[in-house]
Structure 1
């Protein structure tokens, strides 16, 4: 291969990896909390690992309409996200998409850099490493991690409609999570903070949605935490952990540090010995 051809190939690969990335920080670090001692240092939540399958967890800079909108750590084995991280700047009533997208590069590295319809991936590869629309049934909704209602921007709201940002949730749990968590966060942040960082995630459970020899894990827990920096007296934070089906809020989890301790136990061997941290040492 001649040098120019090699350079062209390397350029193509780098463009193709602009979405499923090796590290969040180099592409979409802006969606994570900033180290107050170094404004150029963005701190993502703990990245899970699997020694038996090093490629299991994928870092996705969620791209829609030519812009990065938020970030997601995705579990290709369970076909559900681990967490989605985004910056909250307010909310307003916005339109919802009627169809759900996928992340093409999870199944085919050289596919589109942006989320898109399932047709963006060759049928023989489609869904090998992620959930598809056909995997969901009437029992389970596509439960948003980054919700529509935490948006004041229509393209960002549309960008939440990708299955890499959704996990199975019963109809009643979906409604309860909205009223007891998502809507309450809106009201709280309206009073105390114009801008906040939020991370919402799930913990894999022991049950699965099964259809046509395909499986998608049903989470045992949903969780979320926000951190509002730049306030007198230090950051303002809150955290929620809820068991699923039926949704039951853990009243012992009220601080980010409480959540870190619980998630360190729930994620087990997938995290380092230092434990799970949502916002590093910035917000506790």
Structure 2
């Protein structure tokens, strides 16, 4: 059983690694992050950022990260296409391990890795660094780089990552290209009985990945859910809501009381917004 109790660690209460997503809520439908009740212990809200050539801080996606499992719970982004070329470098989030570090991701240089995975954790394993926010869903260089932070990746079976999940990511491109706006939340359900590396188990392996998409076309909202691998090693599509929907599956597997991936009301709003994907 995975028990969730939402407690934020004091040393994570910084700017880009902080208590909420107020600096980057534009990556959520109606500026409203998913509602997980209760919230997860040892969680860090990361507004992933980079500095552009003019020294301006640019926010590129949002990630809820678990520092105990050393993997993300979910990453949220606004879908863009077409994709661009990939850079194979991997980056870390310095503020997770050093409260005085300069904000924004940097190359995977020296870090104690107390609160995050490091580049060598999957060496010699049968797992890839599986992106939650995939490179092929980006359309510019900075967004591409942002997908290659280790806080946006979890150990994923390499055959599934390079096969069925890769095909699914391409299918999502086709599905969302006609949207006026498209919001995506991709997450990981951990297998708490599996960790890597074997000689020093630190990083929890993913049991399965899940993805929820919300496509806005005019005044119409279309929501879709996915998870994989299922029992047949495939990516399975399912509705977001309902007794057989993605949210109910996540409630059961995370062992929480409630999950709403695309809340209709952003924090502080008193009147319902028009439309939604739930």
Q: Same fold (TM over 0.5)?
A: yes
Q: 1:134 offset after TM fit, Å?
A: 1.1
Unaligned runs of 5+ in 1: 1-15, 35-41
Match of 2:61 among 63, 70, 73: 70
Q: 1:98 offset after TM fit, Å?
A: 2.2
- Separation in structure 1 between the aligned mates of residue 48 and residue 230 of structure 2, nearest angstrom: 26
The residue aligned with 2:26 is 30
Match of 1:227 among 209, 214, 219: 214
Distance 1:218 1:245, change over 3 A: farther
Distance 1:220 1:161, change over 3 A: same
Q: Is structure 2 residue 16 aligned with structure 1 residue 19?
A: yes
The residue aligned with 1:283 is 277
The residue aligned with 1:208 is 195
- Separation in structure 2 between the aligned mates of residue 151 and residue 163 of structure 1, nearest angstrom: 17
| 1:59-98 map, 5 Å | 59-65=45-51, 66-92=57-83, 94-98=84-88
The residue aligned with 2:32 is 43
The residue aligned with 2:119 is 133
Normalized against structure 1, the TM-score is what?
0.80
- Separation in structure 2 between the aligned mates of residue 267 and residue 154 of structure 1, nearest angstrom: 34
Contact kept, 8 Å, 2:81 with 2:136, in 1: the verdict is no
Cα shift readout 1:200-246 (whole Å, capped 9, x = no counterpart):
001011311134434211111100011012534x2012110113697
Q: Is structure 2 residue 196 aligned with structure 1 residue 218?
A: no
Q: Is structure 2 residue 240 aligned with structure 1 residue 255?
A: yes
Distance 1:161 1:28, change over 3 A: same
Give the structure with the larger helix fraction: 1
Runs of 4+ in 1 over 4 A off after TM superposition: none
The residue aligned with 2:135 is 148
Aligned with 1:248: secondary structure? coil
Contact kept, 8 Å, 1:242 with 1:248, in 2: the verdict is yes
Distance 1:143 1:120, change over 3 A: same
Q: 1:90 offset after TM fit, Å?
A: 2.1
- Separation in structure 2 between the aligned mates of residue 173 and residue 185 of structure 1, nearest angstrom: 16
Contact kept, 8 Å, 2:179 with 2:217, in 1: the verdict is no
Distance 1:129 1:179, change over 3 A: closer
Contact kept, 8 Å, 1:72 with 1:84, in 2: the verdict is yes
User: What's the RMSD between the two structures over aligned residues?
Assistant: 2.2
Normalized against structure 2, the TM-score is what?
0.82
Contact kept, 8 Å, 2:71 with 2:154, in 1: the verdict is yes
Contact kept, 8 Å, 1:43 with 1:279, in 2: the verdict is yes
